Amino acid sequence: RKNSLIQLYCIFNLLDLAKLYFNYSSMNAGKSTALLQSAHNYHETGNETILFIPREDADKNSGLIKSRIGLSASAVVIDSELKIYDYVKKELSQRKVDAILVDEAQFLKKDHVLQMCKVCDELQIPVMCYGIRTDFRGELFEGSASLLALADNLIELKTVCNVCSRKATMVVRLDEDGKVITEGSKVQIGGNDVYRVLCRKHFNEATKLLD
């Protein structure tokens, strides 16, 4: 009886690992670096991963997940045609898959997130998503909204406001002259030349969007 209880405890622990994680932050918090480090840690212990990246970011980075400190890795591109659950299930028929890691998860559609839930719940594979919570207007991205609603674990990665020492939770977009803008396409790929990270107070001072 004691051995049976131990076996059940181990099974429940293994099942508990198959969760959907959303690691979120503002920009420049090292999300891609954290993802690539996690993938490396899996491989170091003999485990296998699949890395995904949405089309919006893949086109700029030639299908690679890239970090600001120079690390990179190839990834499967997520577009409107890709059925993530079917893709992972097919991979499982050919090799073992111990974890799924997704960069720039804010660009996912709700259907992509639902498929990732299915990967966790039916295939018992943990899915770790990394992304930004809000856009330059302070509004949730579709992928982020779905992950905040459905993820089992929410993990905040922190960075510092460009103006003060408070935690940065927002981003603002800059035009070619370095001035803050509040209109334009929701998706625009860019780095420090296009975006700045700010706390809520300085975001509102710069945009007046929270008045």
Q: Which two tokens stand for residue 133?
A: 């919570």
Three-state secondary structure call for residue 71 = coil
Three-state secondary structure call for residue 127 = strand
Three-state secondary structure call for residue 57 = helix
Set 48, 104, 183, 205: catalytic member? 104
Euclidean distance between CA atoms 183 and 195, whole angstroms: 14
129 burial class (0-12, 13-18, 19+ CB within 10 angstroms)? buried
Please, where are the H alpha helices in the chain? 2-17, 31-44, 55-58, 84-92, 110-123, 142-150, 200-207
Q: At residue 159, what is the residue type?
A: T
Q: Which residues contact 5 (CB under 8 A, 6 or more apart)?
A: none
For residue 77, give Cα distances in angstroms to 44, 55, 64, 81, 160.
24, 6, 9, 10, 30
Q: Is 104 a catalytic residue?
A: yes
Query: Which amino acids are annotated catalytic?
Result: 104
